[in-house]
Structure 1
């Protein structure tokens, strides 16, 4: 059964000459985004900023966001919690309340450039400095689409993206994409990216490496256990991977590597996790913070097993200097559902292939059937 666990800077994330009267406003919708805002502020030696949480419906995400908000306040930042999706009038109320802040902000930090909410808010700001902080593997797709001048569409989304809602929102999305595109050298708008992911940005986008320095300074080092731990993924919930195939793969990983715990992704369904616990005997853990912080606090296994996801890039950085090893299990093409995006396999292969300091496991098809 699942249980619970327990200064302003320039837009490229580098310390610089931004004046003390330059207001920095950050928008986040997930715990990982808020973690990376804290990492950016630490790396940039930024002063206090205002973090706006555009709260989602999902209770697990909300719970982790509450805990991350506490950490942000401990660091001296102002956190403004917005029930941005709390009913039909919530968007109008939220946008109306945020408009004065958007007008005054000299710098905007965002965690999800694909968010329609964030794209709409970007059309209301006069800020000349924009910073995109990591939203995990989605950052890789964002930079790739920005470089090609394409519409911003999430990699796992199936279809043309030209439905009625897409068409209504298209003008706002186009404006946001232009705001996120750097102007020619000598212009007045700058765009920065703060990321731990391997990216090749378009000309004019300044990249600063996210090395999880704040996480390492704030937590750990962790106590290590003898057993391995498995990191869960929401690939089933997003319609990319077949449920039965996924459960078979988790069972094979646990058997092969002696894993005893399964750290659930915040979006994994309760029904799937109940099945996973009953069929594998793994202890299912619902983390109350992003896994980078959970692992750094410990206790954590000496071996962490994951499928292609953000953590294969971030955990080696967060756990730098420890004896923890991270291993990644590829997604076999046979596991993909009929609803998976045509881009899914290539994107997942890229996530694994570009990961540094991780162990590559044997063929997942052999593991799942062996």
Structure 2
């Protein structure tokens, strides 16, 4: 059980979510119901400069979102944070999560590793083990509002404050869907999987509906979004900008190499982009920009990465931490090129003031598979168009396959 003084509880299922929880914990406002004085911590005495503390704003840092509060302007709270890791089954994600969990423990947080997958009874056992903690927490932080397991946990929440931290670009779709009052569905998801899938959806509908209500502020509960994404909140939700103050304070600045680094994506693995088109695009980007390294996404398959290495000569790097930390620690290329993904929004914050140029290459609609979600084209274009402080590369630059 959570000790009486531990009023904040976070649930994460990926390394990036855990990184963003650490960012939130570093700069969070004090819990008005929790113990300890507000204003203690490194950000407390920072004078504001255009809404961002002087000590947290590097030259060339992206401007804050309109009508939002910069996270690094907040005073850290004194009450402890327990982080519950609900790991996926793939080895790469689990390895990165263990590294991130070690960093979280170094920061003084209480980290609990809770298996909730891998067996028919695992979810029920995890739910029973966590129920008391969930009911007792006054602040609950979640990293993936689309997660069915997180939604199930939300049915038990009694907290006065609910915080959603970024789970990548999915945050943009989360905000849009909650604004429209729609059920929460990932942007790249196509269907429910026939009759059995529709039956499961129908049975799960009450849980999903309860989760949506939890994400709506009320007289007894505030809802906060902690994000680096270009979103506009609604209905009384508070937006706080994640400007990666913790990452910038703990790591770097990095040493820059003369080359260009490419950032991999899981668009092939999620069935959105055709593998052959993706390989041709990476080959063209490598030749045009003199790229030497390819930072693989944790979900990219070994077979795909081997094919990329053979076709391009790129050094394939499988990071053991989220790319924001890897890039900030360095060494990193003077230019970092990515397809539409989370990093085109987060790296300008993490690398602000370092001289690194972040570039984004559009995805040509011709690269999409026949099974891609109807929303895929518009969503990917939105990720690119809304990116700030990046250099935009047209899709034809990547040499779409004929």
Unpaired segments of 5 or more residues in structure 1? 1-19
Q: Which residue of 2 aligns with 1:193?
A: 225
- TM-score, with length taken from structure 1: 0.92
8 Å contact kept, 1:22–1:107:
no
Q: CA deviation at 1:363?
A: 3.3
8 Å contact kept, 1:139–1:197:
yes
CA–CA distance in structure 2, aligned partners of residues 37 and 242 of structure 1: 33
CA–CA distance in structure 1, aligned partners of residues 251 and 152 of structure 2: 36
SS at structure 2 position matched to 1:304: strand
User: Which stretch of the first structure deviates more once superposed, 40-49 or 143-152?
Assistant: 40-49
Q: Which residue of 1 aligns with 2:41?
A: none
CA–CA distance in structure 2, aligned partners of residues 57 and 108 of structure 1: 24
Q: CA deviation at 1:365?
A: 6.2
Match among 98, 102, 105 for residue 70 of structure 1: 102
Q: Which residue of 2 aligns with 1:46?
A: 77
2:142 maps to 1:158? no
CA–CA distance in structure 2, aligned partners of residues 88 and 272 of structure 1: 31
CA RMSD of aligned residues (A): 1.4
CA–CA distance in structure 1, aligned partners of residues 16 and 141 of structure 2: 14
Q: CA deviation at 1:369?
A: 5.5
Q: Which residue of 2 aligns with 1:298?
A: 330
CA–CA distance in structure 1, aligned partners of residues 337 and 14 of structure 2: 23
1:244-300 deviations in whole A, cap 9, x for unaligned? 000000000000000010000000011101111111111101000000000000000
Q: Which residue of 2 aligns with 1:284?
A: 316
2:217 maps to 1:182? yes
8 Å contact kept, 2:367–2:400:
no
Q: Which residue of 1 aligns with 2:343?
A: 311
Match runs of 1:238-257 below 5 Å: 238-257=270-289
Q: Which residue of 2 aligns with 1:32?
A: 16
Give the number of aligned pairs: 348
Q: CA deviation at 1:92?
A: 1.1
- TM-score, with length taken from structure 2: 0.85
Match among 142, 152, 168 for residue 136 of structure 1: 168
Match runs of 1:287-366 below 5 Å: 287-364=319-396
CA–CA distance in structure 2, aligned partners of residues 285 and 23 of structure 1: 39
2:207 maps to 1:172? yes
8 Å contact kept, 1:302–1:323:
yes
SS at structure 2 position matched to 1:46: coil
8 Å contact kept, 2:6–2:81:
no
Q: CA deviation at 1:22?
A: 6.2
Match among 131, 136, 139 for residue 104 of structure 1: 136
Q: CA deviation at 1:86?
A: 2.8
SS at structure 2 position matched to 1:102: helix
**Compared CA separation, residues 366 and 79, structure 1 to 2 (3 A):** closer
2:150 maps to 1:118? yes
8 Å contact kept, 1:332–1:365:
no
Q: CA deviation at 1:126?
A: 1.2
Q: Which residue of 2 aligns with 1:205?
A: 237
CA–CA distance in structure 1, aligned partners of residues 357 and 190 of structure 2: 34
SS at structure 2 position matched to 1:327: strand
CA–CA distance in structure 2, aligned partners of residues 46 and 66 of structure 1: 25
Runs of 4+ in 1 over 4 A off after TM superposition: none
CA–CA distance in structure 1, aligned partners of residues 204 and 151 of structure 2: 9
CA–CA distance in structure 2, aligned partners of residues 320 and 280 of structure 1: 30
Q: Which residue of 1 aligns with 2:266?
A: 234
SS at structure 1 position matched to 2:400: helix
Q: CA deviation at 1:165?
A: 2.0
Q: CA deviation at 1:163?
A: 2.0
